[in-house]
Amino acid sequence: MLGGVLPGFDSMDGENAKLMPMDNVYSYFMFLGPIERKKDPTRISWNKILAWLLVVLNIFLQTTVLYAVFTTVVTSDVIWRNSIISLAGNSVNPFAPEPSKCNPGGSLCSETNGTFSCAPPSIQLAGRWDMLDLDNDGIWTREEVLEKREELQCQFAVDPLEVFNVFVSFVKKRKDVIWVHPLVQSGKALHKAYFDFAKGDIIMCNYRNDEMCPNLLQRGFFDGPLTTGKSPRVGKTIESALNYCYDLLKTGGVCERSLPSTYSVWRKSSDNQCFDELYHKFIYKHPKTGQTKSLLEVDYKAVSDYEKGRNSYLFMTYKSIIILMFVLCMFVELKDIILVFSWVLTFPSEEQVEAQGEDAVHEEHDADGKVSKYIIHGITKQHRMLVGVITLTRFVLGIFLTWVGTVFLLMDTDYVNLLLNGVGLIFVIEIANCLYGQLLDLELREQCENSDPFSVSMGFMWKICWFKNPAVRDLMHLVIILAVLIGGMYLHYIHIARPLSTALECTCLTRGDKCYEAQAFDKSFWEGYWANTVPEVFASVEHMKKEHEDDDDDSDVSDVTEDAPAPAPAAAPTNFIHKGLHGKAHHFTTLKGPGVIPFQHGHAHHKSRHRVTRLLNAHD
């Protein structure tokens, strides 16, 4: 402890307590002052200077060590936790800042109603088509991006215009396997079919690096295309599926080159926060051919470490015991401080004792005439004030040590480190005892240790808060300590350990029942994507391709023969892309003949062309 390993008092009766001389610098200073004044009231002795020096040195050493632990360990841990997920909205700290209305983008994860989303911002939009296509017409236009740009940027901390361009870029990169509409080629709009096609690649980017590819194979994400063989991207073999994944996720791969800079920041940051890789061997069996391949499933140390704090009852009990021992030491220190504080307020003054005809300090001598014991009956006002200031400093230092030490132990996720850190905190507590035992001569120590203890009136000072029965008093202390410990551990579990563990699992492995991406893009999603979405995409694109070719044929200008020259009237329009007339039949003008030749087409066919030409006209 800051003032000693054992409490500095013993119960005398129901009302009073003994303040014993202890083997620490604070007790030495408190007992030495009256003794040195008894020897010579007129001078400042070297013993007093040494006592002052030891107290100041002890405070300096303990403050420096605690400050170093706080700034380099505790503060760093808070910064690290906030880089995973901001817990400001769930903080039990009344002085914590209010959470920002907009997503500041400083954390890898965000939480909404108990669900964590840890994908990079650009990928989070891949599963939210309804928020992008504002008029629900199946086409995401640049105008719609700009209309909702600020709102989406506030919510997801990414510029949706960048995301729009990323989807367009991904579609263009796959033009060897899919026809690209001119609107997409020009970057003016993106049909839902192209969005669904590109989001498969973009969602894959959520898995961060190519070491996750075997994990995805194990989860069955590629079983659909491997079984049917109808996805050119994935192919038909285990090697082709892995190569598709590797090309996307490897360093410098398609994901890193194509996605916005926020993705690269997220990727490097998440790699650092997940700590070291852990590997487990498994055998994957091809769902159609039965071919097997030995692969390594990756896990991460941060996930496994913090999972203990959420799921291991043994570890939580072990941590509680270590923290309990530390809190008990600090509780003893607090009781010692309270006792000294009560002594400062109630102990008789030197003037009061001398007014009764007694010495403030009484000496007892042995057979040789040497002083064998000092009995202190009163203290000076100056000494009372000095001890009061030192006691107040001890109290502040003790509160700070209790807080830093508890946080220091709570953040630990390893059995051995917890034990070693607990011992390290005891070392900080023991500095006051070490200085006393190692720097003071034996004769000086015996001078104070042989003094009679002080009598402190605790019942008078603390009234009903002081239980006269020592057993009841100690039982109440134990109940208070256990209640504080259990309450603190529960709050830490609810507000820090559980959300942090869940966020790490979601960030590093995209796994967990509270992870939005893990649930939204699970095995059933990928089965549906490869089996239904991809074929529908190609069918829709083929239909758009035919419509576009028909539009090109319809818009061809007929040749004007030399035998029947007929120049167009002056009022004829030069731009004959229709402006969206209503009805089941629309008339397109051509420059054939002397007048306007009407051309009718079906309503369904017109609807698609009308949408395309409206978009083109809007960007002229």
Determine how many CB atoms are found less than 10 A away from the CB of residue 296: 13
Lowest-pLDDT choice from 10-19, 113-122, 126-135, 523-532: 10-19
pLDDT at 133: 92
Confidence of residue 595 (pLDDT cuts 50, 70, 90): very low
Instruction: For residue 97, tell me if it sits in a domain.
Output: no
Q: Give CA–CA dist 432/438, Å, rounded.
A: 10
Say how far apart CA 542 and CA 495 lie, in whole Å.
Answer: 52
d(CA 259, CA 169): 9
pLDDT band at 38 (very low <50, low <70, confident <90, very high): confident
Please answer whether residues 299 and 280 qualify as being in contact, where contact means their C-beta atoms are separated by less than 8 angstroms.
yes
* 327 and 238 fall within a common domain: no
> 296 near 280, Cβ under 8 Å?
yes
487 and 527 housed in the same domain: no
- As a whole number of angstroms, the distance between CA 344 and CA 391 comes to 9
Cross-strand bridge partners of residue 296:
281
Same-domain pairing of 167 and 231: yes
Q: Is the pLDDT of residue 563 over 60?
A: no
pLDDT tens digits along 391-422: 999 999 999 999 999 989 998 888 999 999 99
Q: How far apart are CA 84 and CA 88, in angstroms?
A: 12
Is 51 inside any structural domain?
yes
How far apart (Å, rounded) are the C-alpha atoms in residues 271 and 555?
A: 54
Per-residue pLDDT tens over the stretch 186-242: 999 999 999 999 988 889 999 989 999 999 999 999 999 999 988 888 999 999 999
Sign of the Cα torsion 202, 207, 213, 219 reads negative
> Total domain count for the chain?
3
Q: Do 477 and 587 belong to one domain?
A: no
Higher pLDDT, 376 or 614: 376
- Domain span at 167: 121-258+522-532
Task: Band the pLDDT of 564: cuts 50, 70, 90.
Answer: very low
Higher pLDDT, 296 or 110: 296
Q: Are the C-beta atoms of 333 and 2 separated by less than 8 Å?
A: yes
- For the chain, give the number of residues: 620
Q: Are residues 53 and 149 in the same domain?
A: no
Do 59 and 129 have their domain in common? no
Helix (H, G, I), strand (E, B) or coil at 285: strand
Proportion of the chain above pLDDT 90, given as a percent = 40
- Is there a domain that residue 2 lies in? no
Give SS3 for 16: strand
- For strand 361-365 and strand 371-376, is the pairing parallel, antiparallel, or unpaired? antiparallel
Record the pTM: 0.72
The verdict on 600 and 527 lying in the same domain is: no
* 253 and 354 housed in the same domain: no
Residue 353 included in any domain: yes
The whole-number pLDDT of residue 481 equals 92
105 inside domain: no
Distance between CA atoms of residues 480 and 532, nearest Å: 62
Per-residue pLDDT band for 96 (boundaries 50, 70, 90) equals very low
End-to-end CA distance of the chain: 79
More confident residue, 67 or 86: 67
- Helix axis angle for 381-410 and 313-346, nearest 10°, is 170
Residue 265 lies in a domain: no
Residue with tokens 């961060």: 208
Task: Give 113-127 as a DSSP string.
Answer: TTEEE-S-HHHHGGG
Amino acid at 459: G
Highest mean pLDDT among 123-132, 315-324, 454-463 belongs to 315-324
Query: For residue 258, what are its two tokens?
Result: 């194509």
Co-location of 222 and 326 in the same domain? no
Residues 491/92, Cβ–Cβ less than 8 Å: yes
For 143-156, what is the mean pLDDT? 89
Domain co-membership, 249 together with 131: yes
CA gap 590, 196 in Å, rounded: 37
**CB-based contact 499:111 (threshold 8 Å):** yes
Q: At 202, list the tokens.
A: 């973009």
Q: Could you report the per-residue pLDDT of 490-549, keeping only the tens digit for each?
A: 988 888 888 999 999 999 999 999 998 899 899 999 999 999 998 999 999 999 999 888
